[in-house]
Amino acid sequence: MSRRHILFAAFCLAPALALAQMATAPFEGRLKKIQETKTISVAYRTDALPFSYEEADKTAAGYTVDLCRSIIGVIERQIGVSPLQVKWVPVTTQNRFSAISSGQADMECGASTVTLGRMREVSFSTLTFLDGTGLLVRASTQANALLDLAGKKIGVISGTSNERALADALKAKVVTATIVSVKSRDDGLAQLEAGAIDAFASDRVLLVGLASRAKDPKSLALLIDALSYEPYAIALPRGDWAMKQAVDAALAQIYRSSAIAEIYGRWFGGMGKPGPVLEAMFGMGRLPE
């Protein structure tokens, strides 16, 4: 064989060798554990309808849960293990990140806002949704905006980004109101319906889902104010680059396919098509291979 033919053969063979090396490269961190145990542990919120909640039969459901089911399907192909056994781990607002950092779960599929402070404990995938802090009130309160809640009691879950957004908005608009700490969204709804608080602050889409479960949904109203910007993502182990790359690659594949339209339509079809900001977010998530 001539030198030219040898060089040409080597050139053609190089990509195949590179792919073979990638396929046989050892996995690290959580991916290695997932491959070896053939099991992936997924944390989910039980009270974050329509993103993540628990059905009557105790199964996980919601927009982010469906997104994570698709991600798991892609990861199965990435690590060559199919099917993976999925262990669903219910978590609360308070323990969702510690479940990841402690190794109890490999990723958290709920309605978690990415913040710099939270990045000290966990990492995050590329964005999965965009929302903002809103206010749910009783229709009888006759309030249209935050300014109308001066002197009122506003409930919010302690330790959330909503709590900070509410405090900042009250300060910026010079509104004096009493902030009441509640344990959960269900607790906030119960106190709002009972008249113990006059408004409840949380992510706007979550408030829509919460209001649908009220005794009388028509007795509640969502104010026009959006108090903050809430970028959602999947919480992942901090410093585990292999796990993050696997999830980001899976999201990119999903965003490039028709799957994201199907998942979005299943949970938000009644709200119409994604707005321009959300479409831009999906577009930025379509990372090339």
Q: What is the pLDDT of residue 26?
A: 60
Contacts 24+ apart (CB under 8 A), 217-221: 218/139, 219/138, 219/139, 219/140, 219/193, 220/136, 220/137, 220/138, 220/139, 220/192, 221/136, 221/137, 221/138, 221/139, 221/141
Angle subtended by helix axes 259-268 and 63-79, to nearest 10:
160
Q: What is the pLDDT of residue 276?
A: 86
Q: What is the pLDDT of residue 6?
A: 40
Does the bond joining 50 to the residue before it have cis omega, within 30 degrees of 0? yes
Residue numbers of the chain with a pLDDT score lower than 70: 1-26
CA atoms in the 13 A half-sphere facing the CB of 183: 4
Q: Would you give the distance in Å from CA 267 to the centre of its chain? A: 14
Q: What is the pLDDT of residue 229?
A: 86
On average, the pLDDT of the chain sits at: 89
> pTM of the entire structure?
0.79
Which amino acid appears at position 192 of this protein? L
